[in-house]
Structure 1
Amino acid sequence: MAEAQDAWHRLFEHSPVPVLLLTPDLKIVDANESYLREVLRTRDALAGLHMFDAFPDNPHVALADGVSNLAASFEKVLHEGRGHVMPLQRYDIRPDGRPWQVRYWLPKNWPVVDEKGSIVALVHHVTDATAAVLMRKTNATASVRTSSDARFLDLLQRADKAILEAGETIRKTQEAILRARAEMDYVRSRRLLKPI
């Protein structure tokens, strides 16, 4: 069992998919190396912080809505118990001790459930779409490039949705296994109670 847990930890740590792990009350538990590279932060700087203390809205952007949109997504995941794919979101970052940097993300959030089906953690995954968005903005007159960027963003969103749907299928399978185990335990207990 320890070997399997070690393998899962290595998979999490070295995955090319940027992942942040949060408690249900949005405290940061851990982030893998890919996520830390994307947000230009260190594990020590993030560990134990509330998500929106670690990643507040950029105070220099009057209509910044990253915090409110992400909070709504987390609430949806916690309430419905299933993943949520967010639309393209501007959510600027502030690397440790440096000026704010413009960022556009394709975020996905989903629950981690225990054997009883209770949500014990949240997974936050982001795809950085900044280069595509900024390229589209600076080359707005180049229609070929713009449509190519739109197709690229659409492809990214569809791929991310497929990943989330696969996670949802895994969650449903886990729930079915838990129900089957409970039914088997019930049948076994009933057999033990029958007189011979």
Structure 2
Amino acid sequence: MRQNLDYAALFAAVPSPCLAMTPDMTIVAVNQAYLDAHGRRREELLGRHVLDSCALDHADPVKQRALRNLEASLRRAEATGKPDVMAPHKCAMPISRGAHRSEAHCWSMINSPVLGSDGAVVLFVHRTEDMSAFLQQRRRTRSGVSRTSAHAREMQELNEQVRKATTYAEQLLRRQRQFTADASHELRTPLTALRLQVEEAQLHPDDIDMPDLLDHLTADLDRLENIIDDLLLLATLEVDLDARLEEVNLTSLVEAVAARWTGSCDVRLDLERAVTVGADSWQITRLLANLLDNARRHASRRLRVDLRRTGDHAELAVADDGQGVRPDDRDRIFQRFVRLDTARGRDRGGAGLGLAIARDIASAHYGTLHVEESVDGGACFVLRIPLVS
């Protein structure tokens, strides 16, 4: 039969120095082992920040680093729901209760999250172990303080590198999974349409208008081919790009690309002459085409293209007089397979890769691409890439 446990008594009986703190690192409970190890009184700690258990001044860079490391450990424990082991940390402690002199101790720390009924972290249990005697013994056996200190620093740096690498790998894995799911969905849509039309033709061959069927099949095949081409381009943008860079007259390139749209809408150019950049001309042509096609699809009457030298960069602005892009969406529209609701309702809309490709090309050329509001109230896409020095 399950017995009721006195958790306060259990906490107090733990032989290791422990304290409990809220997510903002305010101490709410501390056991006697912690008070004895740190030479403090309970009333000195309860209700105060956890770093007040150390004797360092808050302006001390060592204490500031300790605070950052502790906050990072708590966030990791909160994110994973599992205990997080910190690298060994030095903290100056009073030699005896009430003494003005202190000595450095090296502590090993473990932060364990306590979850509430809703799954959120309500407390952290902070357990410490004094490693000073152990490390002093290692110093003696390894003949000198410097080697142990250097080894401790190396281990701490290695731990940080491993944590950063793990976090980065997890981010890449999440992005890869999301990209695979999005790409599968976009490829499945035209394939489903193709299958439905072919199966309909098989079931009712006498009711099929063959020219109309072929037109629809060709349109879906074109869409499928465009998606595959875009995916391949995204995968190969930066492969051997530096070897393909050449001096490109961006002014002439903009004029040539813009000429393709002059028959379908009012395109106004204001270009500084002979603006030269180091680029892969094919990729920059694709970037310009994507920006102009996006502006044409959203413009009410006209679009404008401006090109200037700004410091050591070329700055190109492609603006339309459409509805514009809300501030909350101005970064999201550059994500792969993202289409705003207004764009989804357009039959001529693409798979949501055009702006993602444009920004990736800009980044591969050591540049940037962002969107802001145009003077006409629409969207203005601003590209900045380095000039040829």
Query: Could you say whether these structures have the same fold, taking a TM-score greater than 0.5 normalized by the shorter chain as the test?
Result: yes
Aligned residue for 2:200? none
Paired residue type of 2:67: V
Give the gaps of 5 or more residues in structure 2: 149-389
Aligned residue for 1:124? 126
Paired residue type of 1:97: G
Mapped contact 1:57–1:66 kept (Cα < 8 A): no
Partners of 2:129 and 2:139 in 1: CA distance? 19
Q: Deviations over 1:99-155 (max 9, x none)?
A: 22211111000100112211110000011111111232244339xxx9xxxxxxxxx
| Number of matched pairs | 141
Aligned residue for 1:87? 87
Matches within 5 A, 1:108-119: 108-119=110-121
Give the gaps of 5 or more residues in structure 1: 147-196
Q: CA RMSD in A?
A: 2.8
Paired residue type of 1:100: S
Q: Deviations over 1:136-190 (max 9, x none)?
A: 2244339xxx9xxxxxxxxxxxxxxxxxxxxxxxxxxxxxxxxxxxxxxxxxxxx
Residue range with higher mean Cα deviation, 63-72 or 42-51: 63-72
Partners of 1:15 and 1:138 in 2: CA distance? 31
Paired residue type of 1:51: V
Aligned residue for 1:97? 98
Aligned residue for 2:67? 67
Matches within 5 A, 1:30-41: 30-41=29-40
Quick one: structure 1 residues 60 and 52, their matched pair in 2 at CA, closer, same or farther if it must change by over 3 Å? closer
Aligned residue for 1:42? 41
Larger Rg, first or second structure (1 or 2)? 2
Paired residue type of 1:135: Q
SS at match of 1:103: strand
Q: Which has the higher contact order (CA 8 A, sep 6+)?
A: 1
Shift of 1:62: 6.4
Partners of 2:60 and 2:122 in 1: CA distance? 34
Mapped contact 2:40–2:53 kept (Cα < 8 A): no
Q: Deviations over 1:3-52 (max 9, x none)?
A: 835x2221111221221100111100011111111111111111100112
Partners of 2:20 and 2:10 in 1: CA distance? 14
Aligned residue for 1:172? none
Quick one: structure 1 residues 74 and 57, their matched pair in 2 at CA, closer, same or farther if it must change by over 3 Å? farther
Matches within 5 A, 1:7-46: 7-46=6-45
Q: Deviations over 1:51-91 (max 9, x none)?
A: 12343646898656433322221222233332101122222
Quick one: structure 1 residues 119 and 10, their matched pair in 2 at CA, closer, same or farther if it must change by over 3 Å? same
Paired residue type of 2:22: T
TM-score, length basis structure 1: 0.61
Partners of 2:79 and 2:59 in 1: CA distance? 32
Partners of 1:125 and 1:103 in 2: CA distance? 15
